[in-house]
Amino acid sequence: MAAKKQSPYATYVGYLNQGKLAYQFSPVADKAVFFPREFCPFSGQDCLEWRESKGVGTVYSTSALHTRDAAPYNVALIDVDEGFRLMSRVEQIPAEQVRIGMRVQFKVHAPEGDDPYPVFVPVTL
């Protein structure tokens, strides 16, 4: 009996558990692919390769969300330098100070009892 293949999401979470931001790359389309999946969205082939991102990117879009019972937080779209975009948030600064064009660096947020996920912090020069 053949070993069961790990899902793309499980592979992605495995990288996050190691402190790494991974994405898939389609050699057929010569493009980065994110969110993890079985088949290339450009070619329909099962040719996707795993790669590790350096984790640096630029804020493409941001919104500060205000709730009744907590401090404001942001939701941001991040264009990662390797050519993919993901929804996340920028931490370590107030939500209203996150700006389009801001350079950010990946870090892992690992809530207790839940899967880890990527967040970003401003790049300090």
- The 10 Å Cβ neighbour count of residue 42 is 13
Domain ranges of the chain: 8-122
Q: What is the DSSP letter of 90?
A: B
What is the CATH architecture assignment of 8-122?
A: Beta Barrel (2.40)
What proportion of the chain, given as a percentage, has pLDDT over 70?
96
H or E segment and range at residue 57: strand 56-65
At 124 the pLDDT is 79
Condensed to tens digits (0 to 9), the pLDDT of residues 47-92 reads 999 999 999 999 999 999 999 999 899 999 999 999 999 999 999 9
* Integer-rounded Cα radius of gyration of the chain: 16
At 5 the pLDDT is 78
